[in-house]
Amino acid sequence: MVKIAVGSDHGGFELKQALADHLRNAGHEVTDLGTNSSDSVDYPDFGVKVGEAVANGTADAGVAVCGSGIGIAMAANKVSGVRAANIYDVTSARLSREHNNANVACFGERLVGAQTAQDALDVWLATDFEAGGRHERRVAQLNNL
Protein backbone atom coordinates (compact mmCIF):
# COMPACT_ATOMS: atom_id res chain seq x y z
CA MET A 1 0.00 0.00 0.00
CA VAL A 2 1.26 3.42 -0.98
CA LYS A 3 0.04 6.71 0.49
CA ILE A 4 -0.83 8.87 -2.51
CA ALA A 5 -1.90 12.53 -2.61
CA VAL A 6 -4.09 13.44 -5.59
CA GLY A 7 -5.10 16.86 -6.82
CA SER A 8 -6.40 18.60 -9.90
CA ASP A 9 -7.85 21.77 -11.28
CA HIS A 10 -11.25 21.85 -12.96
CA GLY A 11 -9.77 20.69 -16.29
CA GLY A 12 -8.49 17.50 -14.68
CA PHE A 13 -11.29 16.87 -12.20
CA GLU A 14 -12.93 13.89 -13.95
CA LEU A 15 -9.64 12.08 -14.58
CA LYS A 16 -8.46 12.77 -11.03
CA GLN A 17 -11.65 11.19 -9.70
CA ALA A 18 -11.19 8.13 -11.93
CA LEU A 19 -7.53 7.73 -10.92
CA ALA A 20 -8.32 8.17 -7.21
CA ASP A 21 -11.00 5.46 -7.43
CA HIS A 22 -8.60 3.21 -9.32
CA LEU A 23 -5.92 3.69 -6.65
CA ARG A 24 -8.35 3.00 -3.80
CA ASN A 25 -9.57 -0.15 -5.55
CA ALA A 26 -5.94 -1.27 -5.79
CA GLY A 27 -5.59 -0.91 -2.00
CA HIS A 28 -3.69 2.38 -1.82
CA GLU A 29 -4.39 5.10 0.74
CA VAL A 30 -5.56 8.16 -1.20
CA THR A 31 -5.72 11.72 0.11
CA ASP A 32 -7.73 13.96 -2.21
CA LEU A 33 -6.47 17.54 -2.00
CA GLY A 34 -9.10 18.89 -4.38
CA THR A 35 -10.56 20.39 -6.38
CA ASN A 36 -13.95 18.92 -5.67
CA SER A 37 -15.90 19.99 -8.76
CA SER A 38 -15.51 21.16 -12.33
CA ASP A 39 -15.87 24.81 -11.26
CA SER A 40 -12.96 26.93 -12.46
CA VAL A 41 -9.94 27.04 -10.13
CA ASP A 42 -6.21 27.73 -10.55
CA TYR A 43 -3.97 24.72 -11.28
CA PRO A 44 -0.91 26.12 -9.40
CA ASP A 45 -2.79 25.88 -6.10
CA PHE A 46 -3.37 22.15 -6.51
CA GLY A 47 0.00 21.29 -8.04
CA VAL A 48 1.69 22.87 -5.04
CA LYS A 49 -0.60 21.06 -2.58
CA VAL A 50 0.30 17.70 -4.11
CA GLY A 51 3.99 18.61 -4.24
CA GLU A 52 4.04 19.73 -0.61
CA ALA A 53 2.34 16.52 0.54
CA VAL A 54 5.08 14.49 -1.16
CA ALA A 55 7.92 16.76 -0.05
CA ASN A 56 6.86 16.79 3.61
CA GLY A 57 6.27 13.03 3.73
CA THR A 58 2.51 13.16 4.21
CA ALA A 59 2.32 11.16 0.99
CA ASP A 60 4.72 8.66 -0.57
CA ALA A 61 3.78 9.78 -4.07
CA GLY A 62 1.54 12.25 -5.84
CA VAL A 63 -0.82 12.37 -8.78
CA ALA A 64 -1.72 15.74 -10.28
CA VAL A 65 -4.08 16.38 -13.18
CA CYS A 66 -5.03 19.42 -15.24
CA GLY A 67 -6.20 19.82 -18.82
CA SER A 68 -2.78 19.19 -20.35
CA GLY A 69 -0.75 18.04 -17.33
CA ILE A 70 1.82 20.68 -18.17
CA GLY A 71 0.83 23.54 -15.88
CA ILE A 72 0.18 21.41 -12.84
CA ALA A 73 3.57 19.68 -13.34
CA MET A 74 5.26 23.07 -13.48
CA ALA A 75 3.54 24.07 -10.24
CA ALA A 76 4.43 20.84 -8.44
CA ASN A 77 8.05 21.14 -9.57
CA LYS A 78 8.35 24.50 -7.79
CA VAL A 79 8.31 22.56 -4.49
CA SER A 80 11.79 21.57 -3.35
CA GLY A 81 12.29 17.81 -3.52
CA VAL A 82 9.55 17.21 -6.06
CA ARG A 83 10.24 15.59 -9.40
CA ALA A 84 6.94 15.80 -11.25
CA ALA A 85 6.72 14.19 -14.67
CA ASN A 86 4.08 14.63 -17.33
CA ILE A 87 2.97 11.11 -18.29
CA TYR A 88 1.25 10.12 -21.53
CA ASP A 89 1.57 6.34 -21.65
CA VAL A 90 3.21 3.35 -19.98
CA THR A 91 6.59 4.10 -21.56
CA SER A 92 6.76 7.67 -20.25
CA ALA A 93 5.57 6.36 -16.87
CA ARG A 94 8.29 3.70 -16.70
CA LEU A 95 11.07 6.03 -17.83
CA SER A 96 10.05 8.80 -15.43
CA ARG A 97 10.59 6.37 -12.55
CA GLU A 98 13.58 4.40 -13.84
CA HIS A 99 15.63 7.39 -15.01
CA ASN A 100 14.27 10.40 -13.12
CA ASN A 101 12.88 8.92 -9.89
CA ALA A 102 9.69 10.94 -10.41
CA ASN A 103 7.61 11.23 -7.25
CA VAL A 104 4.61 13.03 -8.75
CA ALA A 105 2.82 11.69 -11.82
CA CYS A 106 1.03 14.35 -13.87
CA PHE A 107 -1.66 13.71 -16.46
CA GLY A 108 -3.61 15.83 -18.92
CA GLU A 109 -7.30 14.99 -19.02
CA ARG A 110 -7.66 16.51 -22.49
CA LEU A 111 -4.74 14.43 -23.82
CA VAL A 112 -4.83 11.04 -22.06
CA GLY A 113 -7.82 8.75 -21.77
CA ALA A 114 -8.80 7.28 -18.42
CA GLN A 115 -7.75 3.71 -19.27
CA THR A 116 -4.38 4.81 -20.63
CA ALA A 117 -3.82 6.93 -17.52
CA GLN A 118 -4.76 4.04 -15.21
CA ASP A 119 -2.44 1.65 -17.04
CA ALA A 120 0.39 4.21 -16.97
CA LEU A 121 -0.17 4.91 -13.27
CA ASP A 122 0.00 1.20 -12.46
CA VAL A 123 3.32 0.94 -14.30
CA TRP A 124 4.58 4.12 -12.63
CA LEU A 125 3.84 2.75 -9.16
CA ALA A 126 5.37 -0.64 -9.96
CA THR A 127 8.61 0.72 -11.44
CA ASP A 128 11.71 1.22 -9.31
CA PHE A 129 14.38 3.85 -9.80
CA GLU A 130 17.60 2.54 -11.37
CA ALA A 131 19.84 3.66 -8.53
CA GLY A 132 23.51 4.19 -9.17
CA GLY A 133 25.40 5.45 -12.14
CA ARG A 134 24.30 8.25 -14.40
CA HIS A 135 20.67 8.32 -13.30
CA GLU A 136 21.48 8.76 -9.63
CA ARG A 137 24.01 11.47 -10.44
CA ARG A 138 21.49 13.36 -12.55
CA VAL A 139 18.69 13.12 -10.01
CA ALA A 140 21.11 14.45 -7.39
CA GLN A 141 21.81 17.37 -9.72
CA LEU A 142 18.07 18.03 -9.99
CA ASN A 143 17.71 17.93 -6.23
CA ASN A 144 20.51 20.49 -5.86
CA LEU A 145 18.91 23.05 -8.18
| Active-site residue list | 66, 99
Question: Is residue 70 exposed (0-12), middle (13-18) or buried (19+ Cβ within 10 Å)?
Answer: middle
Contact residues for 23 (Cβ-Cβ < 8 A; gap 6+): 4, 6, 30, 63, 121
Q: Distance between CA 6 and CA 9 in Å, rounded?
A: 11
